[in-house]
Chain A
């Protein structure tokens, strides 16, 4: 099952060695960790050349304030022709919690990136309309960070 996916990773490495940091495999899924600066190039290559024409999902995750790199952004690529799924991962440190937007490649990334910005606090450079989407615009903090308290900041998260 995963041989097919590894073939795509090999093509990615052939094209540009620096695009791939690490490759991990588990539960029939392959994760490629991509350097922060080359995510758009990698996505473009996979979209145009390898048939990954749909961005199924994009989500951020916080590993905890003591970790470095602290944040990760996961891109779940899917192909409507050969039906494979590939996960790209970008790791971000707390000081530079920003990555280039892929909304120029997939329009669906627009809302996903807004949600990630809203809840995890990762910025997407070049995003056409980076506003909060689920929480009000005057909300304090980013709710899915590990150090964000379950009941919100006291006295109110809304000011």
Chain B
């Protein structure tokens, strides 16, 4: 029997259709059908100036927008050879790790909801709400912050941000304990996740899995440590790895990752020192408002950047960061003008979803829901 699961299904979190070939309740074949959402972003980048592209990236993985911002601006900064000041780098790390926790909260909540536990969802979204409030305080946006700019940040953190962040930090370990009590020790949870959706180590690398999905298959790889960027090499954190290769292992990796991100946020908060938040490059970075009122050349630079954009030297880069779902890579090619020649996003969800058939075959229909949840896909990133 062929069962068409989706395009609108409570567990697919977006428009995804799975063509399931069934033998009774057993899945013998699975063909993912994507493209319902295709937003043509890669085409759009070619028609926008570099700085205008940042707001598009927010819409891709809308649960981890700051991660997308970071990948995009860092690729452009690499082409421009920009030096980013210390404070801006610390704030980038701080915000990205908060965002990673928020993204994992959505994953945990919806993953549990898919399998049938409801209250975890509300507890998770309560924590996520606190983080979104922090992001809103810093950038003015909740889901689409566009906080990072080529050469630094949009603006400095507002007064009282550290105090509010510390409030969140004080409550979070308690919340994680609640999740552990509710989910990790739950025997129903064990029987729904252990031994389900197995993908072995070699197979996982062959399918190009990255992030928690790969680390759940026993591969010790984290780009924050292995291809460090924004000064991640100076932070002290562990990379959680699990050997079971199943839904349970991927669940454990993400749960432990939340606490590692918590550790990094702590360290970043300790490192916040006053200083500039934008690179010293007047041709690329917008001047301060005050300077614009006092200096003619600042006014000219502002006008030129806004009206014409800035020219980026010829070249091509591939910059990869560890987003909450895995390796988010940006391939950016410039022909020297104010608009990129080609921007390609290597979305981790896109690659992870391709491996879904391997994990599903031989499992029950009900397990497909658990496996999709364990991949933590966002359709905005798949159908860029």
Stretch in A11-19, A35-43, A53-61 touching the partner: A53-61
A26 pairs with B315, CB closer than 8 A: yes
Residue pair B226, A108 in contact (C-beta under 8 Å): no
- A7: chain B residues at CB < 8 Å are none
State whether B317 touches A55 (Cβ < 8 A): no
Q: How far apart sit A103 and B373, CA to CA, in the bound complex (Å)?
A: 26
Q: Which of B293-335 contact A (CB under 8 A)?
A: 315-318, 320, 327, 329, 331, 333
Say yes or no for B183: interface residue by CB 8 A criterion. no
**What residues on A are CB-neighbors of B351 within 8 Å?**
108, 111-112
- Given A110-B354, A150-B47, A27 and B317 touching (CB < 8 A)? yes
User: Contact between B354 and A136 (Cβ–Cβ < 8 Å)?
Assistant: no
- For residue A133, CB closer than 8 A to chain B, the reply is yes
Instruction: List the A side residues contacting B43 at CB < 8 Å.
Output: 143-144, 148, 150
Find out whether the CB atom of B350 lies under 8 angstroms from the CB atom of A80: no
Contact of A80 among B221, B344, B384 (CB under 8 A): B221
Within 8 Å of chain A (Cβ to Cβ): is B34? Answer: yes
Check A134 against B34 for contact (C-beta < 8 Å): yes
Report the Cα distance A27→B208, complex, angstroms.
24
B194 in the interface (beta carbon within 8 A): no
Known: A27-B315, A108-B207, A143-B40. A59 touches B34 (CB 8 A): no
For the residues of B in contact with A, the DSSP-based class is mixed
B78 within 8 A of A: yes
Q: Check A56–B226 contact: CB distance below 8 A.
A: no
The count of chain A contact residues (Cβ–Cβ below 8 Å) is 37
Contact between A111 and B221, CB atoms less than 8 A apart: no
A74: CB under 8 A from chain B?
Answer: yes
Once the chains bind, are B207 and A107 in contact (CB under 8 Å)?
yes
How many residues on chain B are close to A (CB under 8 Å)? 37
Contact of B317 among A29, A63, A107 (CB under 8 A): A29
Complex Cα distance A54/B76, Å? 25
Please report which residues of chain A, range 106-123, place their CB below 8 angstroms from some CB of chain B when the two chains form the complex: 106-108, 110-112, 115, 119
In the bound complex, do residue A76 and residue B42 qualify as a contact, i.e. CB atoms below 8 Å apart? no
Is A83 part of the binding interface, using a Cβ–Cβ cutoff of 8 Å?
yes
Interface assignment of B383: CB less than 8 Å from any CB of chain A: yes
**B205 touching A53, Cβ below 8 Å:** yes
- Report if A76-B315 is in contact (Cβ < 8 Å); known contacts: A57-B346, A108-B208: no
Contact B208 A54 (CB under 8 A): yes
B79 CB within 8 Å of chain A: yes
Q: A27-B79, A56-B329, A61-B333 are in contact. Are A111 and B315 (CB under 8 A)?
A: no
Q: B315 and A57: CB pair below 8 A?
A: no
Per the bound structure, the CA–CA distance linking A135 and B35 in Å amounts to 6
Option from A53, A57, A135 in Cβ contact (under 8 Å) with B344: A57
Within the complex, which residue of B78, B221, B331 is in contact with A74, where a contact is CB–CB below 8 Å? Answer: B331
Q: Note all chain A residues with C-beta closer than 8 A to B192.
A: none
Contact code string A63-102 (vs B, CB < 8 Å = 1, else 0): 1000000000010100010010101000000000000000
Interface residues of chain A, those whose CB is within 8 Å of chain B, are 26-29, 31, 53-57, 59, 61-63, 74, 76, 80, 83, 85, 87, 106-108, 110-112, 115, 119, 132-136, 143-144, 148, 150
13 contacts between A and B (CB under 8 A): A26-B317, A29-B317, A54-B205, A56-B327, A57-B331, A62-B342, A76-B329, A80-B221, A106-B206, A107-B208, A134-B383, A135-B35, A148-B43
Query: Which 4 pairs between the two chains have the least Cβ-Cβ distance?
Result: A108-B208, A57-B346, A59-B344, A134-B35
- B residues neighboring A (CB under 8 Å): 34-35, 38, 40, 42-43, 47, 78-79, 81, 205-208, 219, 221, 226-227, 315-318, 320, 327, 329, 331, 333, 341-342, 344, 346, 350-351, 354-355, 383-384
